[in-house]
Structure formats: C-alpha cells, structure tokens
Structure 1
Amino acid sequence: MAEQDDAEKSEDPTQRRLEEAHKKGDVAKSQEINTWFVLSGATLVILAFAQGMAGTLAGYFGGMLGNLGAISLSAPDTRGLFVQVILATLAAIGIPFAVLAAAALAGNLIQHRLVWSLDPVTPKLSKISPLAGFKRLFSAQSLVNFVKGLLKLVIVAAVMFLIVWPDRDRLDTLMTLDPADLLTVVQALALKLLAGVIAVMTVVAGLDFAWQHHSWYQRQRMSLREIKDEYKQAEGDPMIRAKLRQVRAERSRKRMMAQVPQATVVITNPTHYAVALRYTTGQNAPVCVAKGVDRIALRIREIAEEHGVPVVENPPLARTLHAAVDVDAEIAPEHYKAVAQIIGYVMQMKARAAWRTNRP
C-alpha cells in the first residue's frame, strides 16, 4: 500500500504543501553543511585564537601551580578557587566557543529560514513502535545514509593520511620540543589537516545538500486527489459554493422584488423582459430598481399590477435597458430621451386620473 501511495504521488507539491511542511519542521537539511561550517569555524579559532587562548591559560595555571604552597584547602577557599578556575577558563575560551556556535547556527540558516515548531519533538507512537523503527532501520534512506557515511569516513581518513604521512618523521620528535615550539608545530599540522578535510567536505556537503533537497522534495509530492482536496479546503467545496451563490441570488432577488412597488414605471417586452424604473423630482436620472427575464419578468409585472405601478410595453427599450443597466444604477444618458417620453406619458396619465377623481 505504501508503494502504491508513493506511485500515485506524481504531481509537484503546491506552495501550500511546502509551507505546511516548513511549519511542521520538515525541511531540506544536510548535516554535512553543518559539519562544514563547524570545521570552518574551528579553523578560524585555531588560526586566530589558539595562541592567545593557550597563552592566557598557560599564564593563569602556571601562576597557580607555582604558588601551590600558598593555596588554602579549606572549604570556602576551595570553592572560591574552583569558581576562579572556571571563570578564567571561560574567559579564555568564551570567544572561540561563540565563533563555533555562530558557525553551527549559520550552517542551519543558510539551508532554510528559521523554523519554530514542536512537531519534530512531539511524542508519537510511530517513533516508539518497534515495527516502524525496524522499517526505518532497513529503509532505502537508511542504506543511503550508511553508504554515504562510510564513503565520507574513508575519503576523509585517506586525505588525513596523505597530509600527515609526509610529516611522519617529525611526529617522533614532538615530545622533545619545548611547549611553545610544540604549540606552533601542532597548530600548523592541525591547520593543514583541517584545510584538507574542509576541501573534501566542500564537495561532500554540496552533493549531500543536493541529495537531501531532492529527497525532501520527493517526499512532498502529491497525488491528484490530494491536490483536489487541498483546492476544496482552500476554495471551499464546489457544491457548497454553488449553494451559497444560490442563496445569495435568492436573497438579492427578494430585495429586488421588494422595490418594485416603489417603481414609477415597468417597461416590458411584454413577457420576456421587464425593467422597473423609479424617478422622483430632483433625481439626476431614473434608477433601475428591478429587472429580469421570463419567470422573473412575469413576477415583476404581477407585483407592479398588484400595487398599481404602470406597465408599459416597449420591446426594444426593454431589451436595451435590461442589457445596459444594473439594478440600483442610473440609466445611461443615451436612454434619457426614450425613458423620459415614457415617464412623461405615465405622469400625464396619473394627472388625468387624479383630475377625474377630484372632478365634482
């Protein structure tokens, strides 16, 4: 089943999938990059701080050993001496260790941005399951890591051997050198070794990072179903979105129908189109309060007749207005004349009806 699932993951991961992996602490990371930075930091420490650090420690401990007879061994004095030794040691090695810590941090930051996630350290049954542990132990990734570690060990050991072998005769005489001369020889030899190892690790780290990034990207690949599910989560289920659109359209239609009784006139086709317009003195132009075709047009006409709103048949104008004007929007200037004639006619009819009603 696992092989089948992996085979189905044929699509490149989406940006959302990559962001979720980063939030969970699942990032492309090469330990060899970290090793390279730590080795470079160690080289810098030996090159810049080794003599100063050794001189500081030698001076302090030399002075202390030269005055052993004056040191009190009482409990308070012993505790004080212990604190002084620790402080002196930290003062000597503090900056070098800060450089190494900065190098280790840089090795992580150069590979990916900061990750704040508890997911990698959260207890999971799969981490303590013997079966899951057995699968991880004999997985293809474990085999690759084993071969990679073995090759790295062989290559680094060979490089170190090639560097040290020419100086093998000098190694026998190291015990006869003064401490100051011994430090210089050891420092030079250590720098040569580190330079050779760093040169090898540069290639190893580059190849390992490319492999780790490739493996991580392959783990993030998705199946078509996962992409569809992600799209549904991001955009919403299509059926739900269609239902919401239907509900919004129904509410909008009800609000539109509620404005028909306040219309001044309804212009129809006579049955296929209906556009309800409202105009009062002081308006810049008539406003469309409702429009529709077929069933909605028929309903607009029925509501207009129920509330005594004049219905005027003008098929060309009804079709034109329906296509050109939106609900709650003013009609365009090019329609002023035609609409004004109809509204003027309606006003005249209302005025005549009012005169007949009020005539004695």
Structure 2
Amino acid sequence: MAESDSGEKTEEPTAKKLTDARKKGQIARSKDLGTFFVLVGCACAMLLMGGSLAASIAQMMKRLFSFSREEAMDVNALFKIIDEGVTLIIAPMLWIFAIVALAAFVGNILLGGMSFSWAATAPKASKLSPLAGFKRMFGVQAFVELIKSILKFLVIFIVSYLLLSGLFEEILGLSRESIPNNFAHATTMLLWMFLVLALSIGIIVVIDAPYQVWNHAKQLRMTKQDIKDEHKNSEGSPETKGRIKRAQYEISQRRMMAEVPNSDVVITNPTHYSVALKYDAAVGGAPVVIAKGVDQMAIHIRTIAKEHNIEIIQSPALARSLYYTTEAGDDIPEELFAAVAQVLAFIFQLNEHKKGKAKRPTAIPKTLPIPDDFKY
C-alpha cells in the first residue's frame, strides 16, 4: 500500500498521456540534431552549388563593371543590367536554400515526428516568473546544457586542430599558387573543413538524441495513483460503472419479466432454470426466447406464468440448453428446432383440448432430440 500511495513516478506513460502530451507540443526534440542537419546541409549545398554560384557572381560583377558610357547615362539600361545580374545568381541561390530548408525540416522531425500545437505557443505565466527562471538556470537541464556546450567546444577544438595540422603544408602552399586558382583552392578547402566540422557535431548528437528521448519519457512518467485517476476519469470509477451496470441489469430484467405473460410456454428443469418461449404462427420463423432466468429469477418467471395461466413444461435438458445458448429476444438455435417443436405441438394440442376441440395429447417424451453439443 505504501508503494502504491507514494508519489514516485515509476510507471511508464500511458497511451493517453503520450497523446495529450503531443497535443500540448511536448515531444522529444534535440536542438543539436536540427543544428547538425542544417550545418551539414549547408556545407553540402555549398560544395554542390558553390562553383555555380561563384561563376554566376563573377559573371554578374563583370557585367556590372563593364557597362558603357551610354548605358551609365540611361536609367532603364542600368536597371536592365542589374536585373540581368540578379537573374544569374537566382538559380544557384534557390538550390542552396532548398537543400538547407530540406535538411532543417528533416533534422527537426527526425526525432519526435511532426507536431503542430497552439498550446505550445500560448503564453505561460511560469516563463515570466523570476523564481521559475532561477530554477531553470540552476536546474538539472541547465547543467546538462552546460556539459553539452563544453563537449561541443572540445570536439570542435580538437577537430579544428587536427584539420589545421593535417592541412598546414597545403595552406602554406596557397601563397605559391597563382590568382585566381589559389582563391578557388582555398574556398574548396574551407568548404571541406566546414563539412568535417559540421559532421563532428554528430558526436554530440549521438549522445544528445537518446538522452532527449529518455528525458522526455522520464518527464511523462506517472505514479500508480496517476494511472488510477486517468482510468477513472476516462472510463468512470468502478463504483459508478458497477451502479450503472446494476441499473441496466435491473431495467432489462423488469422488461423481460413484463414479456413473460405473452409467452406460449415456460420450460423448466424444474427448479434452477426457466425459459419462456413464444411462437407466432402468423408471422412464421423460429420460436423466440422472451425471458430466461436461474434460481430466484427462474422462480419469478414460473410465478408470473402461473398467474397468467401459461403452461409450464418440465424438460431439464432442453431448459439448460436454451438457457446457455440464447439471450432474451433471440431465436432458438436451429439445432433445437425439433425438440422445441415437440413441446409447442403439445402446448397447442393441449390448448385445443381445453377448448373441447381435440382429445388430450400424449405426454412429451422424457428424452427430446437434443444434439450432444447442446447438452449442458
């Protein structure tokens, strides 16, 4: 009892808890994963489209600085030259923006998926509270972010040192190359160094992404009492559900008892089970079970039947079979047609005999044709 009443969040979040958290925008997110994809995407975009962009810029600059005196005196010609220059760089710039945007999108939905929540953008008083801000500054999350920042610095510092050491001779050799080849060589070298540095952040991402998933699950953990309360709120308390079920049962029993006077026969075993049947010859079809009961309910059915002069037939095997294979309002199973037909035939002949229109029918056989699968 002490464990169940404790406030320790030891239980995994339920499906409803996870769904509610997602609606509020509370999902696992790694900022470093998004940053990693953006930086790598930017480096790849520059390596793929950098040459085309540089050539377009060079062509644009050449055109801007080579117009004639007549063009310089013509405003329309100047705007045309500017328009031609801008047009040259639009295509490579759009490709670069598209690659970076795609990388940013993938990096931000890779962990936690897509989530659109207005609740996450709503203002919160806790964010304006100095006390809450102080707790965030010196809390566990702030400490984790500090450790991550230190690790980022160390990783980038070490990788930068290794790159510069390995490329030191090649960097010095740029001074011996001719212009503009040395500029192209230096740009390519810088882009590859940028790509390697961006990829080095993956070391942090490999640590941060699993941590964010674990921390998110930890924040959503529930106490045993939380699970009980959630179950109670979503499905109702066991006491309330019990009262509703009892009320529904009582209503159904009253409705069933009200149909007993309309039955043609009540079949009993003779003490524990009672089943009331009705057959409408005008409509046809199969006989219908309109009421059934066991023990006290069975006695009640027989009492009502006696009050309304409904014939009561003792057939233990048939009574048990009907009780266990049907519900009130069901047609009797096809396998029991022959047995029930003998009972109904006896009842109809007995009613004719009471009216003086026929002789007294012979008694129902003690053994009725009931399949072995329907014997209880």
Scaled to the shorter chain, the TM-score interval is 0.7 to 0.9
Residue equivalent to 1:296: 297
Would the aligned equivalents of 2:42 and 2:100 in 1 still touch at CA under 8 Å?
A: yes
Mapped partners of 1:53, 1:305: distance in 2: 101
Would the aligned equivalents of 2:266 and 2:311 in 1 still touch at CA under 8 Å?
A: yes
Which deviations, in whole Å up to 9, do the C-alpha atoms of 1:173-226 show, x marking residues without a partner? Answer: 868966522432222321341243144222221111121112112112111112
TM-score, length of structure 2 as denominator length: 0.80
Mapped partners of 1:271, 1:325: distance in 2: 19
Residue equivalent to 1:218: 218
Would the aligned equivalents of 2:60 and 2:86 in 1 still touch at CA under 8 Å?
A: no
Would the aligned equivalents of 1:160 and 1:196 in 2 still touch at CA under 8 Å?
A: no
Structure 1 alignment gaps of length 5 or more: none
SS of structure 2 residue aligned to 1:121: coil
Shift of 1:112: 3.0
Identity of aligned residues (%): 32
Shift of 1:248: 2.3
Residue equivalent to 2:258: 258
Change (3 A) 1:260 1:32: same
**Within the alignment, does 1:245 sit opposite 2:223 as a pair?**
no
Which range moves more in the overlay, 132-141 or 208-217? 208-217
Which range moves more in the overlay, 124-133 or 302-311? 302-311
TM-score, length of structure 1 as denominator length: 0.83
Change (3 A) 1:134 1:225: same
Would the aligned equivalents of 1:38 and 1:104 in 2 still touch at CA under 8 Å?
A: yes
Shift of 1:53: 0.5
Structure 2 alignment gaps of length 5 or more: 358-376
Which range moves more in the overlay, 84-93 or 56-65? 84-93
Change (3 A) 1:273 1:148: same
Shift of 1:9: 0.6
Matched AA of 2:226: E
Change (3 A) 1:340 1:42: closer
Mapped partners of 2:354, 2:239: distance in 1: 53
Change (3 A) 1:71 1:232: farther
Which deviations, in whole Å up to 9, do the C-alpha atoms of 1:37-69 show, x marking residues without a partner? Answer: 222222222322112101111211222123385
Would the aligned equivalents of 1:46 and 1:187 in 2 still touch at CA under 8 Å?
A: no
Would the aligned equivalents of 2:30 and 2:208 in 1 still touch at CA under 8 Å?
A: yes
Residue equivalent to 2:372: none
Would the aligned equivalents of 2:17 and 2:220 in 1 still touch at CA under 8 Å?
A: yes
Matched AA of 2:291: A
Residue equivalent to 1:37: 37
Mapped partners of 1:168, 1:320: distance in 2: 95
Which range moves more in the overlay, 169-178 or 150-159? 169-178
Change (3 A) 1:77 1:138: farther
Mapped partners of 1:160, 1:68: distance in 2: 47
Mapped partners of 1:18, 1:73: distance in 2: 66
Mapped partners of 1:318, 1:324: distance in 2: 10
Between the two proteins, the alignment pairs up a number of residues equal to 351
Mapped partners of 2:338, 2:61: distance in 1: 107
Residue equivalent to 2:128: 128
Residue equivalent to 2:152: 152
Mapped partners of 2:27, 2:145: distance in 1: 17
Mapped partners of 1:88, 1:311: distance in 2: 101
- Mapping 1:180-191, distance limit 5 Å: 180-191=180-191
Which range moves more in the overlay, 189-198 or 334-343? 334-343
- Mapping 1:7-46, distance limit 5 Å: 8-46=8-46
Shift of 1:126: 0.9
Which deviations, in whole Å up to 9, do the C-alpha atoms of 1:133-176 show, x marking residues without a partner? Answer: 11111111111111211221122022112212455576578689
Shift of 1:234: 3.7
Mapped partners of 1:327, 1:197: distance in 2: 76
- Mapping 1:311-326, distance limit 5 Å: 311-313=312-314, 317-326=318-327
Change (3 A) 1:166 1:326: closer
Would the aligned equivalents of 2:53 and 2:89 in 1 still touch at CA under 8 Å?
A: no
Shift of 1:96: 1.2
Mapped partners of 2:169, 2:285: distance in 1: 106
Would the aligned equivalents of 1:57 and 1:92 in 2 still touch at CA under 8 Å?
A: no
Matched AA of 2:115: V
SS of structure 2 residue aligned to 1:221: coil
Would the aligned equivalents of 1:25 and 1:120 in 2 still touch at CA under 8 Å?
A: yes
**Within the alignment, does 1:354 sit opposite 2:359 as a pair?**
no
Would the aligned equivalents of 1:41 and 1:103 in 2 still touch at CA under 8 Å?
A: yes
Mapped partners of 1:20, 1:10: distance in 2: 19
Change (3 A) 1:150 1:324: closer
- Mapping 1:192-231, distance limit 5 Å: 192-231=192-231
